[in-house]
Structure 1
Amino acid sequence: MMSKVYIVGAGPGDYELITIKGLKAIQEADVILYDRLINQELLDEAKEGVELVFCGKQPNHHALSQTTINHLLCKYALQGKTVTRLKGGDPFVFGRGGEEAEELAKRSIPFEIVPGVTSGIAAPAYAGIPVTHRDYSSSVAFISGVNKQGEDEEEYWERVVKSMDTLCIYMGVKKLPDICERLVKYGRSQKTPIALIQWGTTEQQKTVTGTIETIMTKAESIQNPAMIVVGDVVQLRDKLQWFESSIREECVEVRSDVG
């Protein structure tokens, strides 16, 4: 009776950034367990009669606990149903996909990981910021603004700040003052460029840039979900921004047509 579970990265928000394999997993599923940050249009690709289960993780509130999600993945698979676990970004990059896969492996339930485009790469790209560049950055770290339990925060920040040219920080907007303080404490100049990218790759994308010294004066308009990018590569946005400019041009065209 047992079927397979697909743990799928839905990408960062742009509907078209789903992979072909991820799209097939949506189309073939009997049950889809999906998160808040996926593009809801992807669910339109599911077959008729599919069971949709909203897992709804939001800051400081989970509609379903991780334990409950793990249980449901196993329950549906043991009923012989094809299950797709649809997660924003990439399931193995701050997505708890590893925890879900561990539970399936423990129960000897077949599963497959379908990688997705993570927001740490896609959001900067849509903001015109390459995370590496031959003239600006030869290293990049994808880190969380929330430390794992029991980890020494000072040691953690000292290590990442001193070892990498570019930092892409997930889940860090609420801790931005602390992050800026630690960046300077462990060697970054106050003049280091920094960008905040809200709802990256979607039509709601909003980007503000500044330096460690000035970014707090511009950050009030930015809310989660948002990426923080730190490093000299942020300077390239002035030359390379393309997505938000194209959205503005489309809006102008629509208004002209209406007029």
Structure 2
Amino acid sequence: MYLPGFDLKDKLAVVTGGTKGIGKAIAVSYAEAGADVIIIARSEDELLAVKETIEGLGRNCHIIQSDVKDYTYIKAEVEKITATRNLDIWVNNAGMNIRSEALEVSEEEWETIIQTNMKSAFFLSQFAAQKMKDGEQGKIINISSVGGHTALRTGVVYAMTKSALIQMTKNLALEWGKYNINVNAIGPWYFPTSLTEKLLQDEAYVSDILDRTPLKRIGNLSEIAGPAVFLASPASDYITGQTIFVDGGMTIYGF
């Protein structure tokens, strides 16, 4: 029986928020699997550091310094890079959270989270699909969260955007399947990232997390890079519209 490979040789992948945590792990893992990578983030120093790592693996790396909310600029820059080659993989990873209780959420917080986590992901996916349609293939991967499935104690707007990404994934998969574009999502629980760094220093907080996690530990970044490579590779060609929760079993509980 033939098992399709996880080889991404000579593919071109875009990863938003590709300089830290989950995004960096995905970008580097794609390079390790043979892909050239475009990384998008706000910090030039961090972009250059990841670029050096990827090029050290023998792959090409392009950097775009931008906030994902400025997707018009990002689309123009990617258009230049893809003028002579296909765009194969797009990962909407960039995101943010403001952990306000629902009674305290301001309109400014609402707009910032919605535009960063949801609006940019839609319009960048739209752009990616337009490019992939021309090449008659492509993989779009949205980084959602367990918060898109299970209620969180704070961060209601964040949870709303991550739930929207899961539903967006389904709808886009339905619309774009005819173009041979696969659209899937990954829903992480707790991993060591810039968003969770302070929280994971609180022993009581970590204890509560582990109580809600059947595997009784925080995830390792390599454990989310694996599913990201899988969903970008030929091994997942017959999978679309799905969300893989990489959560140590947390969503089993549903609380």
> TM (normalized to structure 2)?
0.31
> Structure 1 or 2: larger strand share?
1
Greater gyration radius: 1
> TM (normalized to structure 1)?
0.30
> Structure 1 or 2: larger helix share?
2
